[in-house]
Amino acid sequence: MQLSFHPAMQHFERVSGKTQCLLQRSLLGYVGKILEASLLGSKGGDGQRQLGERQAASLAPPGQKGLQIIKPPPHPHLPGRRRRGDRDAHSCSSHGKHAKTLWYDRPRYVFMEFCVEDSTDVKVDLDDYKVVFSCKNADGIEMYNEITFYDRVNSKDSQNKRSSRSITLFVRKWKDKVAWPRLTKEDIKPAWLSVDFDNWRDWQGDEEVEAAMVEQYAELMQSVTKKGAPPAMDDLDFTTRVVSCCPTELLTETGGKKKILQGYHVILEDTILFPEGGGQPDDRGFINDIPVLRVTRQGPGALHFIQTPLEPGNEVHLVLDWDRRFDHMQQHSGQHLITALADLMFGFKTTSWELGRQRSTIELDTPSMTADQLAALEERVNEKIRARVPVVVRELAVGDPEVEMVRSRGLPDDHTGPVRIVSIEGIDANMCCGTHVSNLCDLQVIKLLGVEKGKKNKTNLVFLAGNRVLKSLERSHATEKALTSLLKNGPEEHVEAVKRLQNSLKQLQKSNLTLLRDFAVLTAQSFKSNGPREPLFVLHRKDGDSEFMNIIANEIGTEETLLFLSVGNEKAAGLFLLAGPPETVEKLGPRVAELLEGKGAGKRGRYQGKASRMSQRTEVEALLRGFIDEQRTEQ
C-alpha cells in the first residue's frame, strides 16, 4: 500500500519539541498496524467464508471507532520528508548502477540492507562518516552506492553479513539512543534509498507522555477527510490510482534460459496483489487488462511490474489471479499443518520450507524419517482435514502471555506493535504474515510424496496439497493409460513389462556393439588388403560411436595414412575423428572442426570432436586431398 501526504494535516508541523517526536512515533506505529491489517487475511475455497478478519477498527486509538486508512502528514523528523528542490521519491533516474537500499534506526545501531541477489566482488569501505559499497549483481553489472551518514558512527564496532539476496550492514552509532531522522547527512532522498518500514520500531520516549499524545493524535485524525476502506485479502478485484510509473527491467528464466524484459514498476495507492516475501511467492493479476508479471515489496508498498506504461494519477482496475492465490493458500496452510503434526507426533522440528512451482518441501530437523512415520503422518494430516478444523488469523500484543505459547523463531528484544498469529484450532498457533485458508477442509487432501536427504542431519519432506494433488493424479492417470496402450497389458503389470523391455534392450545393445566392432576390424582389413595403400581413408556411417572409429584407426595404423572418419545423421549433428601423422593432424584438426561447425581436441596424432553440420564432409575431404597433393608436389 502506498500512502501520500494530505494537505489538511499541514498544521501538524506546528507541534514542537518532544511533542513532535512522540506524535511522530505514534503515527508511525498506528499507520504500520493499519497497513498490516489491510494486507493480511485469507479466503476459503467456496468464496463465501471470509479469509481473515479486518483489523482496522480494532486498531483505532481510544475513543475512535471504525478507523480507516488516512494519508499521514509531512513531518520534519519523519523518514522520507521532502523539501523544495529534492529529487522525487519515485524517480528512477538514479536507479542505474545503484543497489536498492533499505535502512532503519535502532537505539545503538543503524541497519542498511543493500538488495543485490547473488552478489559477487562485494566491497564495503566504511569509516566514521561515510560508507562506500560496491559489488556485481547476478548479471555481472557493477553496483555502487556512496552514503555520507547523518551523524558520526563507530566504524570499529560495525559488521556486515551477506545472503543470496542482500548484504546487510550494522553500523554502531557514536551516540547511543539518539534517533536518526534520516540516513544521509543531506536532507535528500535518492530514488534507490527507502525506509524499511517492516523493521522500523518505536524504541524511545516516556510512555506516559506518549500515551497522552495518542489523544492529541486522535483529535488531529478527526479533522482529516478519510478515503474509502482499504482492500481486503478476499477481494478479487479493486479500483485504485497510480502513484508512479518508472521504466525498469525484469530478469526472467524459462527452461533454463535467462531473459531480460523491458517494462515499468508501478506503485498504486492500494493493492490486492500480495508481494513476494517471507518465503511465499507473489500474486499475479491484471491492471486495466495489462498482465502483472511480478510483485515485489518496497517498504510498506508494492512494485507491480508490467510492460505497458500507466499515467500517474489515473484510476485503474485491479484483478487478482485467484487460482494462483488459492494454490499458495493451500500449500502454505498445508505446511503449517504438516509442521505442527510432525512436531507433535515425532518431535521433528521444521527449520525451513519452500513453496515450489510443482511441489513444496519442508526441511525437518532429523537425519531420517521412516516409511511408517511418513504413512502415520499422512493419515493424521488428512484426518484433521476431514474434521473441518477452523483456521483463525488474530493479532496479539507483544506482552500477551499467549504470544509465548505460539510456534516462532522469536521476536527481537526491541519489537513493538501487534504480532499476527495464524492458529489451527487445537493444533497449532504460529507467527505468520502469509495467506491462508479459513478451514482445513479447504485443503481437500494432502499427499506426502516422500523424503529426500537434505543438509547435514536434515531431511526434506516433499508434499502436495489441494488442487495440486488432483492435478498430479490426473497426470498419473494419463500416463497409466498411455502405458497400457503401449505395453498391451494392465497397470498392475506395467513395472514387470518395463523391466523385460530394459533387459531386452541391454542384450540388443550388447549384440550391436559386438557387430560394430567386428565390422570395424573387417573394414580396416579390407582397406589394407586392396593393393597399394592410399594416403587418405574416408568413411562415414550413420550408426557407430567413438569406439567404432578408434578401432578402425588402430587396425589401419596412422603412420602413413591420413584417416577422416565420421558417424551420425548426414543432415544433422554427429561425431568425427581425424587420425594420422601428429604434425599433419595438429595442423588440420582445427580447420576440420571449423568446416563441420563443431568443436574438438586431440593429441598424439588424433583429433576428435562433435560436428553440428555433417553435410560439410565433402568440403573436409577436399581440404585433406588438397593438403596431400601439396605435400606430394613439395616432395
- Asked if residue 522 and residue 625 are part of one domain, the reply reads yes
- Asked if residue 626 and residue 531 are part of one domain, the reply reads yes
- Asked if residue 532 and residue 618 are part of one domain, the reply reads yes
Question: Which tens digits make up the pLDDT trace of 341-382?
Answer: 999 999 999 999 999 999 999 999 999 999 999 999 999 999
- Asked if residue 353 and residue 390 are part of one domain, the reply reads yes
For residue 540, which amino acid is it?
H
- Asked if residue 153 and residue 72 are part of one domain, the reply reads no
Q: How far apart are CA 110 and CA 315, in angstroms?
A: 38
Q: Is residue 374 part of a domain?
A: yes
- Asked if residue 221 and residue 267 are part of one domain, the reply reads no
* Secondary structure of 441-454 as H, E, C letters: HHHCCEEEEEEEEC
- Asked if residue 212 and residue 73 are part of one domain, the reply reads yes
Q: How far apart are CA 320 and CA 328, in angstroms?
A: 13
Dihedral sign computed on CA atoms, order 396, 297, 190, 80 = negative
Quick one: pLDDT band at residue 483, thresholds 50, 70, 90?
A: very high
Is the model more confident about 546 or about 96? 546
Give the CATH number for residue 298.
2.40.30.130
Q: Is residue 495 part of a domain?
A: no
- Asked if residue 389 and residue 290 are part of one domain, the reply reads no
Q: Is residue 481 part of a domain?
A: no
- Asked if residue 352 and residue 470 are part of one domain, the reply reads yes
Domain residues for 250?
237-320
Q: Is residue 333 part of a domain?
A: no
Question: Which three three-digit cell numbers place residue 589?
Answer: 584438426
Give the CATH number for residue 351.
3.30.980.10
- Asked if residue 620 and residue 542 are part of one domain, the reply reads yes
Question: Which tens digits make up the pLDDT trace of 43-84?
Answer: 343 333 333 333 333 333 333 333 333 333 333 333 333 333
Quick one: pLDDT band at residue 210, thresholds 50, 70, 90?
A: very low
- Asked if residue 627 and residue 540 are part of one domain, the reply reads yes
> Poorest-confidence range of 242-251, 303-312, 607-616?
607-616
**Measured CA distances, 152 to 131, 372, 456 (Å):** 11, 61, 43
- Asked if residue 43 and residue 20 are part of one domain, the reply reads yes
Check residue 78 and give its pLDDT. Answer: 33
Q: Is residue 330 part of a domain?
A: no
Quick one: pLDDT band at residue 291, thresholds 50, 70, 90?
A: very high
Spatial CB neighbours of 318, under 8 Å, sequence gap ≥ 6: 237, 238, 239, 240, 268, 271, 272, 273, 285, 286, 287
Total number of domains in the chain: 5
Q: Is residue 328 part of a domain?
A: no
Q: Is residue 494 part of a domain?
A: no
